Amino acid sequence: MNRTSSRRIGLTSLAVVVIASGVAACGSSASTTGSSGPAAQGTYTVWDPYPQFDASSAWARLLDHCGTQAGVKIKRTAFDTSDLTNKTLLAAQQGNSPDVLIVDNPVVSTLADAGVLTTTEENKVDTSQVAPNLLAAGQSGGKTYGTPIGANTLALYYNKKVLKAAGVDPATVKDWTSLTAALAKVKAAGKKGITFSAIGTEEGSFQFLPWFWGSGAQLTDLSSAQAVSAVTLWRDWLKSGYAPNSVINNTQTTSWQEFATGQYAFAENGTWQLANAKKAGFDFGILPVPAVNGGTAPAPTGGEFVTVPVQSDKGRYATTDKLVTCLTSPQNLLATDTTLSYIAPTKAVQEQQVAASADLTPWVQAVAAAKGRTSDNLGTKYPKISEQLWGAVQAALTGSKSPKDALDAAQAAVGK
């Protein structure tokens, strides 16, 4: 899995491990070093999942700048995502939590449920300008536990040359029927239809969710008729040769590599592939994933939340609030989200992004319709649901079960 997708997507199995094993930690890949003990007076600790950014990076300089504005020094430690969650749980047990924690959004509910995080009501972080659908990924039990630093999601990349040769106008692709018709024309023209990731991991669930939600299905009922229609769509694409059998084992990286050959009409992939698309050597476009009867399907949000862990000294929260406010201010979000290939969580900054780069327009549209995987108050229930969902998709695509039987079994397993 590439760095971006592994950091933002591979979380279901992680959450299961975290819940089951508590504080079992892996080796750190921190980009800066330092004690994990309590922060010294005048020094505030920040933990983040960006080990690719060293002390000379724009990100590290922004942290230092925000510390200077708040009148404190910043001690930063960067971990790989899986390490970060386990280290955070361990630190909370030991009373050594960082002052600011930047964590992948599906993990927020796990940490909140474990009592690790403060609410925005407690820490006074202002979330009033954040898009509600993005903020929902950090909400649990009616409370908000942080603010998003940015978001990414999924859409359909398309190869303009392949579609033109097949006589397909991308503007006509508005729903499942028109998309499937386009795939049929592409196949008839001797090219390949669509590639995506249906692997039996969180990546597979992540890529399937736009079709699942786009059918009108809800994660609280995996066996609904709408859910069956979504799995049937993918199953029929494989049976008709519109999608390759390789999708069963594809990660988002290998799926992208297939699209980069120039032989495919469409690829479902994320914001993070935009730079690679520009290097692919062919003209491309981007469409939001269509819902069954038209409109934009809700796609899952990726990206991190800036959170404030519980501190024994509540007097620290006032300064922490200043740090979080600085990190998520409009002027800093624009630069940070550009660096991270994110769409900003506020409308004002999104408008600045589109003004600077018009090719972000379809991504802003996709993010506006996006949905947190733990939204609908699923919280820590999501990992089990997701595991059953990707298993059902795998069973249907391999032909071991019908879509209905696969989803009936998945729902029965979730209910146990």
Question: What angle (nearest 5°) sits at the alpha carbon of residue 363, between those of residues 170 and 149?
Answer: 170
The pLDDT score that the predictor gives to residue 380 is: 87
* 8 Å CB contact between 350 and 337: no
* 8 Å CB contact between 176 and 233: yes
CATH code: domain 3-152+302-369 is 3.40.190.10
Question: What angle (nearest 5°) sits at the alpha carbon of residue 211, between those of residues 205 and 212?
Answer: 65
How long a stretch of residues is the chain?
A: 416
Q: How many CB atoms lie within 10 A of CB 272?
A: 21
Consecutive 10-residue averages of pLDDT for the chain (416 residues) = 38 31 28 38 92 92 95 95 90 96 93 96 94 94 94 96 98 98 98 97 96 97 98 98 98 96 97 92 96 96 96 95 95 89 94 93 93 89 95 98 98 90
Q: How far is CA 256 from CA 84, 177, 262, 415, in A?
A: 27, 24, 11, 35
Tokens linked to 244: 């390759």
Domain locations along the chain? 3-152+302-369, 154-299+378-414
Give this prediction's pTM. 0.83
Q: How far apart (Å, rounded) are the C-alpha atoms in residues 303 and 267? A: 21
Tokens linked to 300: 């899952």
Tens-place pLDDT, residues 386-415: 999 999 999 999 999 999 999 999 999 998
Burial (CB count <10 Å: 0-12, 13-18, 19+), residue 117: buried
The domain 154-299+378-414 is placed in CATH, from the list 3.40.710.10, 3.40.190.10, 3.30.980.10, 2.20.25.90, at 3.40.190.10
Tokens linked to 176: 């499942």
